[in-house]
């Protein structure tokens, strides 16, 4: 009997706590967005576009460097591996920078 009482208590407690949290924490806000928040959002968008504008030529230079390193390695295995690594890492980094917008949108939807 004691175990059944504990289970009933925990179930009741969990349901009550869930209802309280759902009712007190509103998902939508009916107030306008504060000026500080909108300024910060605009600043982050500007920073994001600035990073994207700088990273595009940087990724192109890195990929070009890796290709030239592979091309002019003259059979040196270490230079070929280094060139492949540079190409792979620069493409991965550029893809991550392009995905920043998606990541920030996902975080924004959670908060």
First to last CA, the chain: 43
Q: What is the pLDDT of residues 25-62, one digit of tens each?
A: 655 556 666 777 788 788 888 888 888 888 889 989 99
Mean pLDDT for the chain overall = 82
**Residue 58 near residue 66, CB atoms below 8 Å:** no
Residues 6+ positions from 67 with CB-CB distance below 8 Å: 83, 87
Whether 92 shows a pLDDT value over 70: the answer reads: yes
Contact 48, 101 (CB under 8 A): yes
The percent of residues in the chain predicted with pLDDT above 70, rounded, is 86
pLDDT score, position 64: 92
Does this model's pTM top 0.75?
Answer: no
């Amino acid at each position: 009997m004691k175990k059944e009482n504990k289970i009933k208590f925990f179930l009741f407690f969990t349901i009550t706590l869930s209802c309280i949290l759902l009712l007190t924490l509103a998902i939508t806000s009916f107030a306008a967005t504060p000026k500080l928040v909108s300024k910060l959002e605009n600043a982050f968008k500007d920073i994001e576009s600035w990073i994207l504008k700088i990273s595009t030529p940087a990724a192109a230079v890195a990929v070009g460097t890796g290709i030239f390193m592979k091309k002019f390695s003259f059979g040196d295995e270490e230079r070929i591996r280094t060139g492949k690594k540079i190409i792979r890492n620069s493409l991965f980094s550029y893809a991550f920078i392009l995905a920043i917008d998606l990541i920030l949108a996902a975080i924004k939807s959670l908060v």
